[in-house]
Structure 1
Amino acid sequence: MEHVDAGAAELMAVRDAHLQRQAEQAIASMSSGLMLVDATLRILRINRAMCDLFSISDSRATMGLPLRSVIDSDILEKWLVLATHSDGDGNGASPPHDAMALTLRTPDGHRHVELKIAITPAKPDKVFLVMAQDITERIRSQEELKRFRMALDSSIDAVYLIDHELMRFIDANKTALSTLGYSYEELMQLGPQDLKPDPGEFDKIQRRFNEVIQSEHKTGTIETLHQRKDGKRLPVEVYMRAFMSEGRQLLVAVVRDITARIKAEAVLRDSEQRFRVAFNQAAVGLAHVSPDGRWLMVNKKLCEIVGYTQSELLGMRFQDVTHPDDVGTDWALARRMIAGEIDEKSREKRYRHKNGYYIWVNLTSSMVRSDSGNPKYYSTVVEDISRRKQIEEELLHLANHDALTSLPNRSLLLDRLSQALVFAERSEEQVAVMLIDLDRFKNINDSLGHDAGDKIIMEIARRLSASVRAGDTIARLGGDEFVIIRPDVVKDDAVAILAQQILEDLSRPLMVQGHEFYPTGSIGISMYPKDGSDGQTLLKNADTAMYRAKDAGRNNFQFYAHEMNSRALDRLKLESGLRRALERNEFVVHYQPQMDIASGRIIGAEALLRWEPPGQAMVFPSDFIPIAEEAGLIVQIGEWVLRTACTQKKAWHDAGITAPLKVAVNLSARQFKHQDIVKVVSHVLEQTGCRPDWLELEITESVVMENPEAAAATLHKLSDMGVHLSIDDFGTGYSSLSYLKRFPINSLKIDRSFVRDITTDADDAAIAKAVIALAHSLKMRVIAEGVETAEQLAFLREQQCDEMQGYLLSRPVPAATLEELVASTSSNLNEPSSSH
């Protein structure tokens, strides 16, 4: 029996040990912290979770240690002490409960732990079970929720939480309660529909709720009205966000009272309306212009000023209506304003009206900037000052012009004269000052009255204005005195020609009050710089010369310098004689023979004009051709020379004289440029019976190169007729080889200035060689003029020059003498060529 009891006891012990191991394993594997403490408050067991909570690295090291070494809590220790001394029968002190719960921080202070303590029924000593749970996240969530609630209640916006299915408020902040005037309990009995006073508003908000719920981002806004408990209505802006919570569709609505904003917008709209009315009704042009020049805003007055509609202007830039001369200054000022160098600009400028004319405006612009200081636009005020400008111009004209004739007066005359002198000093040219005084004008005033005198003065002013160039100035000094300023004078003769022309224009008959007059005038001329270096001196000396003209019998002109009067008189006599020379058959043509250097034969002759006035010595071309050019007589004279030469050539041919084979005639620049020379040549050849291949026309290179395209067309027409063409004075002007090879030229003529020193000057010799080589490369013949020595001829022969003319062969001679020369020409002159 004892043996059985011992066996049973042993089995019980094994079972208890096994149960204890299972219990310890279960405790060790639990996620919650567990600890067994005996009645002396010493640790019996502790699991891994409890060690982790209280940062214990080795659980075995805690066995037998006081509880306070792990959990330092007076409250916990006091409760355990009371529980230890309680006998369980109600005797002695006891804790308030059989178990307790306590929340405390771990020793590291980072976590919150909830402790629950229970008393185990172990005998004979009590054992306490301490269970620990980490509630840090729960505590943190509660604190965050508390802070969120505090923030929610502190928000200036009302916040509601709405159950979409029930359409009821399930939460709201304090601002919502104060805004709507409800208590929390009252508001929780209501829904959004209870805040919508107007029909249709609830349907509108419900549709918007559905749109937000179905949207991608689950957010949206709406403006609506909310009605307070007291019936007052509030305009509100609602921001909504939809989300799901515990299977329910909820909406957070953040509601802002926009009463103040609506009032501000109304005030702003009213202000903008007043601004637009004032802007459009302003008496001056107003505009906003972008930094790149686009019109952003324009008023009616500006549209009236420039003639465009508002829509037209808004599609343009300011430079589109600005005078081209003003655009550069506008941009320069604009750049300075953008850079902050100046705050505003104010200037007078010109706008182009839609109809094409220009308007003067006074423009003031200020730069409007953003809060960050960046340029936004120019605020511009435009005032039409065209009328003011017109009055200013009229006043300026009155101040500077004669009231009767509208010619410049003495003030403007002196200003322009001073400018002309400055330019003349720079260009080293002359300026002529001509003072014109009408002869016996006082008699007209005295006999017919000042009204008739005024009419005559106005007609004289018109005639003088028609006589001068665009760059000249004509002024009235007063009474019957006029002044003409002619700048850019190259030759004194040109001034004499102008003076004579003025005298002729003045003397044309004039009808006043039924009476015919033949006005005349006396002209005094002074020249800058020889007669004075300033305007006053030149006017005084011109006045002196004018009185000299009066003393000389009136109706003439006088230079202040006596020697110029003599030259001018000689020139006038020469010009006057030229005008009658053709009528009186005073011109003759002499012929200078041209020889083929290789054969020594005379192959042509150049027709040269001579003037033989009756009872006077022969006048050579260098003396009268320039005058004929300036007087416009050269065209008639040139055509006469052409006809005479062609007639003579036909006569030689008819007489059986075959040499010279061709006759050369010079064409002047005026003939070539200002006359249909092709038609003239064709007509002359037809009239005279001269064959085109008998005629050679000589044109200077400067004439053909002045307008190469037009010259080429003319030369080709002449060449197509069969006329020979030659470039005269080659080398003295400018030739473009690209054009020269395009001209139908038969020969080049080396100018006498190169031939003269051809045997002594290396440069002239080189030029002659180059011209000969150039002509031959272009398949042209070369003729040298001005050959006077055998050495010159020998040089030209050596360089294989084709032809020559000059005093070595013969001077220009009459036609009959040339015939004799051709007949008697021997081969002596050409003997050096026998070796060829």
Structure 2
Amino acid sequence: MIQTANAFKAIKQKRRPQSLKAQSVQNLPEIKGLDAYLQPLLGGSFSPVVVVSDRNEIAFVNGAFCHLLQLENMADILGIDISRYVFLNFNGKNQSTSQRVNGCTVLGQALVLKINMQQFVFNDHQYRILYLQDKTKSIWHSGQKKIYQHQLSSIFDLALVGIFEVNTRDECVFSNAYLDKLLGKSIVGKSSYSWLSVFSPDDQQEIQSRLAVELQYTGIYTKYCQVTTHSKENLWIRFHACRNQAPHGGFVGTITDETAQRVQEIRLRELAELDQLTGLVNRHVMYSRLKSAIEYTERYGPFVVMCLDLDGFKNINDSLGHDIGDALLVEVSQRLKQSTRKVDVIVRMGGDEFVVLLANGIHETAASRVAHDIIAAIRKPFYIESRTLYVTVSIGIVICDRSDMTPSTLLKQGDIALYQAKAAGRNNFQFFTPELDQAAKQKLDVITQLHEALSKKQFSVEYQPQINIATGETFGFEALLRWSLNNEVIAPSEFIGLLEDTGLIHDVSTWMLEVCFADFAQWRRYGWVKGDEKLCVNISSSQLLLKGFVDRLEETCHQYNLAPSDIILELNETSFMDRVIKGESVVQEIKARGFVLAIDDFGTGYSSISALIHLSVDYLKIDTSLLRDIFSDQEDRAIVDSILAIGKRLGIPIIAVGVDDQSKIEYLREHGCTICQGFVFSKPLNALQLEHFFAA
């Protein structure tokens, strides 16, 4: 009863149906008996009718009223107070009124009734005619609907997805609590498309143009986009709509917050595409950008690939640590961004290697200008953790104007040009040319053949005598590596550097030391060399880095009954100073074991005088290039004079290499140089030829 009463209170009033239109009875003629008077008028009505006296006693009912109250005998209810079955609430002042009331049947079942009342007088007595309309079922269904709607709304509010409903007038008529909280406001509104206000203008336009079409033909619509909340926060959401199958039409939409997923996707993409140190794109992205640029060459013109490598970075990274090195790389990447356009792509390939892609439409002159800007930017000092650091950059440039190129080919060509920039003294840029490509292929062929040279016994050792020009006696012999390929002797300048670059120098040097130590020991056994004559061998910088190198060198000496003092180890001037600067103890260890130390190619590097004294260097060797034009090139002559003066002042003997005529011998003798080596005495000889030298 209470539930029915509450439902009754929630129903809005409606007009009385025309079928219940009451007939006026105030002017009816007087007749005997109320029943006889009303029966013809109301007895046959399909709507329940009851007439009550001014004392609320039932005076007349029709058959429909009996059926409503589940009454079998009409006479049983006459004279009974109407309030037993119909709970009236009239104040008695209105002549005609309408209201909804509760009631019940004779069996006690609850009723909800709409009553229209009309008063009349019969035989000087006041009566009221009550026209009843049974609203029990409609009110019950309405109450059930509200209960269902309330339950459904509670379920929607518990859902972790935004749910809303839009009617056929494009008005949002419902939104759940989650959506209101997500957006910071409710999108329910009476104006058309007001719910679209959370979307961007572009998305609003697309939704308005596509939503109705998609719902009409497919019944669903989905869009992934951003919305703006009441607090101006941008959220990534997935908007899904489906046609409402209810009679009133419209659609039901959901909004799923995918911001966290989007952030995670962006993070994963950054991990896959970006260099984690510098924030630049990585090589994987570069290949896709290169492919796109190649495809666009015919439409938008050529583009440029720049391969960059920092000069001097390894020294900084090794000596100051990776933290300083990483900070330097971050600063370098910022300067590269400042030196290029936003449309250009900067890639960190790894280590201190970068690639810059200059977008389509650029030509050689513009590429040169960008390269100059990059070199100038990198050349400036870097201030990192209270340190001032300097590096330079070498750049290889490729201009791509063909759509049949591949990314790997362009990068290979860029590396070839970069190698040329390194060979040209670093801190410069070089453009790729077909000639460079040919040279690179030749280099590759040489490297391939070098890998097989040792096993094919293509290497040999030659010895060039060193003469004391003051006494005419032999001072020693310099061991020189030779490579014979297809009956042609390859110049050392063409393959020694490649041996070091490829790491083959270690195996080849080990083999060479074994050979020349064995030869020298045999000559001594045969009495061809005196006890004070020396064997000079060249040591590469990379050999000094090998752990246990000095130990193996000493073991080889003992194997052939040679003393370390019999061996002069010639170390290139640049390699010597690199070891000194890095504070490595290998140079000191060489001296401590008793080996004789000579600085080769002295005068072409930057040796420190204090280092020469501190490490007790035994000999300085003047490079051949300085003696070649000593009488015609005043600068070379000045350098040679300075070296001779340094040796004399420090008490370090000088060995002159490349002496090829008597005039140079006389000049060197006059300036205090006593040990010479060159073609004027003997060309380099193999072991068999050297026997004839000894015999002479």
TM-score under structure 2 length normalisation: 0.51
Residue 408 of structure 2 corresponds to residue 408 of structure 1 = no
**Relative to structure 1, is the Cα distance of residues 229 and 537 closer, same or farther in structure 2, using a 3 angstrom cutoff?**
closer
| Offset from partner CA, 1:685-714 (integer Å, 9 cap, x none) | xxxxxxxxxxxxxxxxxxxxxxxxxxxxxx
Question: What letter corresponds to residue 400 of structure 2 in structure 1?
Answer: Y
Which letter does structure 2 place at the counterpart of 1:477? M
Question: Which residue number corresponds to residue 387 of structure 1?
Answer: 260
Deviation sequence 1:117-166 (CA, Å, 0-9, x none): xxxxxxxxxxxxxxxxxxxxxxxxxxxx99996x65xx5x5333567899
Q: Could you tell me which residue of structure 2 aligns to residue 356 of structure 1? A: 232
Which residue does the alignment assign to 1:425? 298
Q: Structure 2: how far apart are the matches of 1:419 and 1:292?
A: 47
Please state if 1:237 is matched with 2:113: yes
Superposed displacement of residue 426, structure 1: 1.2
* 1:446-491 alpha-carbon deviations (Å, 9 max, x no partner): 2222222212211111111111111111111111111111124344
- Once the two structures are superposed, the pairs formed by residues 401-550 of structure 1 within 5 Å of their partners are 401-427=274-300, 429-512=301-384, 515-529=387-401, 533-550=405-422
Q: Which residue identity lines up with residue 291 of structure 2 in the other structure?
A: S
Supply the distance in 2 between the matched residues of 1:448 and 1:313 (Cα, whole angstroms): 69
Return the alpha-carbon distance in structure 2 between the equivalents of residues 441 and 493 of structure 1: 29
Q: Deviations over 1:427-462 (max 9, x none)?
A: 3x2201111111233223322222222122111111
Point out the more displaced range, 330-339 or 541-550: 330-339
2:96 alignment partner, one of 211, 231, 239: 211
The structure 1 residue matched to 2:219, chosen from 334, 339, 343, is 343
1:169 and 1:191 in contact (8 A); partners too: no
Kept in 1, the 8 Å contact 2:298–2:402? The answer is no
Q: What is the 5 A alignment of 1:328-727?
A: 328-339=205-216, 341-371=217-247, 376-427=249-300, 429-512=301-384, 515-529=387-401, 533-561=405-433
* Change in 2 beyond 3 A, CA 1:317/1:410: same
Structure 2: distance between partners of 1:523 and 1:420: 20
Does the C-alpha gap of structure 1 residues 421 and 242 become closer, same or farther in structure 2, counting only changes over 3 Å? Answer: same
Structure with the greater alpha carbon radius of gyration: 1
Residue from 60, 81, 89 that aligns with 1:170: 60
The corresponding residue for 1:226 is 103
Aligned pairs (5 A) from 1:174-185: 176=66, 179=69, 181=71, 183-185=73-75
Q: Distance in 1 between matches of 2:432 and 2:89?
A: 109
Which of 162, 165, 178 matches 1:285? 162
Q: 1:522·1:556 contact (CA, 8 Å) conserved in 2?
A: yes
CA distance in 1, matches of 2:104, 2:403: 104
Give the distance between the partners of 2:76 and 2:169, measured in 1 at CA: 62
Alpha-carbon distance in structure 2 between the residues aligned to 1:178 and 1:415: 83
Match of 1:268 among 140, 145, 167: 145
- The question of whether the paired residues in 2 share the 8 Å contact of 1:234 and 1:257 is answered with no
Change in 2 beyond 3 A, CA 1:365/1:294: same
Aligned to 1:555, the other structure's residue is in SS state: coil
Supply the distance in 1 between the matched residues of 2:109 and 2:346 (Cα, whole angstroms): 88
1:300 aligns with 2:173: no
Greater mean alpha carbon deviation, residues 318-327 or residues 249-258? 249-258
CA contact (8 A) 2:297 2:403 kept: no
Aligned residue pairs: how many?
398
Q: Name 1:53's counterpart in structure 2.
A: none
Task: Give 1:238 shift.
Answer: 3.3
From 36, 45, 48, give the equivalent of 1:158.
Answer: 48
Q: Output one character per residue of 1:328-350: Cα deviation in whole Å (capped at 9) or x when no partner.
A: 442344122442x1122233221
> Which residue does 2:78 correspond to in 1?
188
Give the Cα separation in 2 of the matches to 1:312 and 1:262.
Answer: 28
Letter in 1 for 2:267: E
1:353-372 deviation line (CA, Å, top 9, x unaligned): 2333421012221221443x
Question: What secondary structure sits across from 2:268 in the alignment?
Answer: helix
Q: CA separation in 2, counterparts of 1:531 and 1:495?
A: 19
- CA 1:432–1:291 in structure 2 vs 1: closer, same or farther (change >3 Å)? farther
Runs (5+) with no aligned partner, structure 2: 1-38, 438-696
Which residue type is aligned with residue 169 of structure 1? A
Q: CA deviation at 1:253?
A: 3.9
Q: Normalization by structure 1: what TM-score?
A: 0.43
After TM superposition, the structure 1 = structure 2 runs for residues 740-819 of structure 1, keeping only pairs within 5 Å, are none
Q: What amino acid does structure 1 have at the position aligned with 2:357?
A: I
In structure 1, what is the Cα distance between the partners aligned to 2:211 and 2:59? 61
- Residues 1:348 and 1:539: Cα distance change in structure 2 (over 3 Å): same
- Change in CA separation of 1:177 and 1:282 when aligned onto 2, cut-off 3 Å: closer
Query: Shift of the alpha carbon at 1:236?
Result: 3.1
Whole-angstrom distance in 1 between the partners of 2:243 and 2:101? 40
How far residue 311 of structure 1 moved from its aligned partner, in angstroms, is 6.9
Distance, in Å, in 2 between the alignment partners of 1:313 and 1:389 is 33
The CA distance in 2 between the partners of 1:560 and 1:528, in whole Å, is: 10
What amino acid does structure 1 have at the position aligned with 2:90?
Answer: D
Give the Cα separation in 2 of the matches to 1:278 and 1:287.
Answer: 13
The root-mean-square deviation of aligned C-alpha atoms, in Å, is 3.7
Tell me how far 1:291 sits from its aligned partner. 4.4
Match of 1:61 in 2: none
Q: Distance in 2 between matches of 1:336 and 1:343?
A: 9
Listed one character per residue, the Cα deviations across residues 743-771 of structure 1 (whole Å, up to 9, x for unaligned) are: xxxxxxxxxxxxxxxxxxxxxxxxxxxxx
Instruction: Report the 3-state secondary structure (helix = DSSP H, G, I; strand = E; otherwise coil) of the residue aligned with 1:489.
Output: coil
Note closer, same or farther for the CA distance 1:314–1:285 as it changes in structure 2 (3 Å cut): farther
Q: Determine what percentage of the aligned residue pairs are the same residue.
A: 24
Unmatched segments (≥5 aa) in structure 1: 1-144, 213-220, 566-836
* Alpha-carbon distance between aligned partners in 2 of 1:336 and 1:431, rounded to the nearest angstrom: 44
Distance 1:189 1:491, change over 3 A: same
Alpha-carbon distance in 2 for matches of 1:513, 1:243: 104
Deviation at 1:172? 1.6
CA distance in structure 1 between the partners assigned to 2:328 and 2:106 by the alignment? 103
What code does the residue aligned with 2:196 have? Q
Partner of 1:35: none
Contact 1:343 / 1:367 at 8 angstroms: preserved in 2? yes
- The 2-side partners of 1:502 and 1:207 are apart by 101
Secondary structure (helix, strand or coil) at the match of 1:554 reads coil
